[in-house]
Structure 1
Amino acid sequence: MFTGLIEEVGVLRGVSSGGEVMVLNIGASVIMDDLKIGDSVSVNGVCLTATSLSDHGFTADVMPQTYRNSTLKELRAGSRINLERAMAAGGRFGGHIVQGHVDGIGTIKSVKRDQNAVVFEISPGRKTLFKFIIPKGSITIDGISLTVASSSSSSFTVSIIPHTLGETVLAYKRAGDTVNLECDVLGKYVDHLLRYGSSPQNAEDGEEAEGSRISSEFLAANGFL
């Protein structure tokens, strides 16, 4: 589990791939302080496992499922990467609960300055994600814990302070670029529990599962009516 507070921006030193399998060789310094083989690292919001270590970085494998459902497949040598080690149990919890499990890919529609802030407008590739994108709620963008500023039927915005912009890969993002999105896990659990048993559990990406999530019969059966 992660907090969404980026520890450093690393650099992809090299990548080997075959089909939908990748091995990333990532240059890093700050997170190498106590990183061990087998530790989890958030790489642009994707939870990966450190498979080997060097003095100046680590390697991580990317499996087909991750390749298909994240922006990691777009990385090239020289790409900058948000990095965060797994949350320490005794540390401060400054962001929100981040699993490193990407829910979808978003496309940046615009980047606009608003006095000292920079506002990113992002359009998710899966429209079903909007039920979890709540104004003033939490969302993870490329591993960064952020607050949703506004939401419409086709996009949402986040307002970035100068510190966050300067310390993450968002400083290098432009309109048309893609980002990894992870919605608040609490909302996903609530949604799953409300519709469990009344609709298919494996709806195709981008499709809303059939079936009523809540009804008068459900409320009565559970003592609410």
Structure 2
Amino acid sequence: MFTGLIEEMGTLRSVQRRGEAMILSISASKVLEDVKMGDSISVNGVCLTVVDFDRNTFSVDVMPETFRLTNLHAIQTGSALNLERAMMAGARFGGHIVQGHVDGTGTIRERTAEANAVVYTIEPNDPSLLRHVVQQGSVTLDGISLTVVSVDRENCRFTVSIIPHTLKETVLQHKNAGHTLNIECDILGKYVDHLLNMRDSQPGRRSGGLTESILRDNGFM
């Protein structure tokens, strides 16, 4: 599990491609301070397993499913990457619950300045993802925990506002209109949606929206 607070930007040193499988070698410093074989590191929001490392780099495998579902298939040598180690028990929880299980990608449609902030307008490549994007809720973009500013369901877009510190410390500084971002929707919303759909699909159960009985039946009360 991660928090969506990026620890550092690494640099992609090499890519070994075998069809839709890849081995990425990434240079870093902070995330290597206590690294061990088999550790989980979020790379642009994708939870990947360390399979090799030395003092300055670590390597991770990218399987075909991850290749197809995320923007990692498009990265090139020299690209900057958002990195975060898995959260330690008892550590400060500064972002929100991030699994590193990307739901899909989105395309930046606009990048505009607003006072000290930069506002990004994102169009999910899978329109169904928007059902889990809630105004003032949480969303993860390339591993960054962000707050949703607005949702335009008619045009299948949502916006986030980036403070100067986040822009400076993450790969968003290199992202403009046309670039893709990995999207992970809030896990709490996905679980609630799943529970409601499971209940409504049971024989003899009628769908009627969120009710007190639904919350009680599923352990929320």
TM-score greater than 0.5 by the shorter chain: yes
- Does structure 2 retain, via aligned residues, the 8 Å contact 1:2–1:97? yes
Which residue pairs with 2:146 in the alignment?
146
Q: Relative to 1, partners in 2 of residues 1:41 and 1:220: Cα closer, same or farther, differing over 3 Å? A: closer
Q: In the superposition, relative to structure 1, how do residues 221 and 11 fare at CA in structure 2: closer, same or farther (>3 Å)?
A: closer
Deviation at 1:214, TM superposition (A): 2.6
Aligned CA distance change for structure 1 residues 149 and 220 (closer, same or farther; 3 Å): closer
Distance in 1 between the 2:215 and 2:38 partners? 44
Q: Secondary structure at the match of 1:196?
A: helix
1:130 Cα offset (Å) = 1.2
**Structure 1: segments with no counterpart, 5+ residues:** 201-211
The match for 1:185 is 187
1:85 equivalent in structure 2: 85
Corresponding residue for residue 169 of structure 2: 167
Hey, what's the Cα distance between the residues in 1 that align with 2:188 and 2:53?
A: 34
Q: Distance in 2 between matches of 1:182 and 1:145?
A: 9
Deviation at 1:198, TM superposition (A): 4.6
Match of 1:32 in 2: 32
Tell me the CA shift for residue 26 of structure 1: 0.4
| TM-score normalised by L of structure 2 | 0.91
Cα distance in 2 between the residues matched to 1:150 and 1:221: 28
Give the equivalent residue in structure 1 for 2:101: 101
The one-letter amino acid paired with 1:103 is D
On the 8 A contact 1:195/1:213 being kept in 2, the answer is no
Partner Cα separation in structure 2 for residue 80 and residue 110 of structure 1: 21
- The structure-2 alpha-carbon separation of the partners of 1:129 and 1:26, relative to structure 1 and needing over 3 Å to count, comes to same
What is the RMSD of the two structures over their aligned residues, measured on CA atoms? 2.1
Name the counterpart of 2:21.
21
- Deviating 4+ runs (over 4 angstroms): 197-200, 218-224
CA offsets per residue over residues 50-79 of structure 1, 9 Å max, x none? 000111010000001111100000011001
Shift of 1:220: 7.7
5+ residue gaps in structure 2? Answer: none
What whole-Å deviation, never above 9, does each CA across 1:104-163 have from its counterpart, x for those lacking one?
100000100001000000000111111111110000000000000001021000000000
- The residue that corresponds to 1:56 in the other structure is 56
Q: Contact 1:194–1:213 (CA<8 Å) still a contact in 2?
A: no
- Specify the SS of the correspondent of 2:92: coil
Residue in 2 that maps onto 1:214: 207
Residue 195 in 1 paired to residue 197 in 2?
yes
Length, aligned pairs only:
212
Equivalent residue, structure 1, for 2:112? 112
- Note if 1:133 corresponds to 2:137: no
Cα separation, 2, equivalents of 1:222 and 1:88: 31
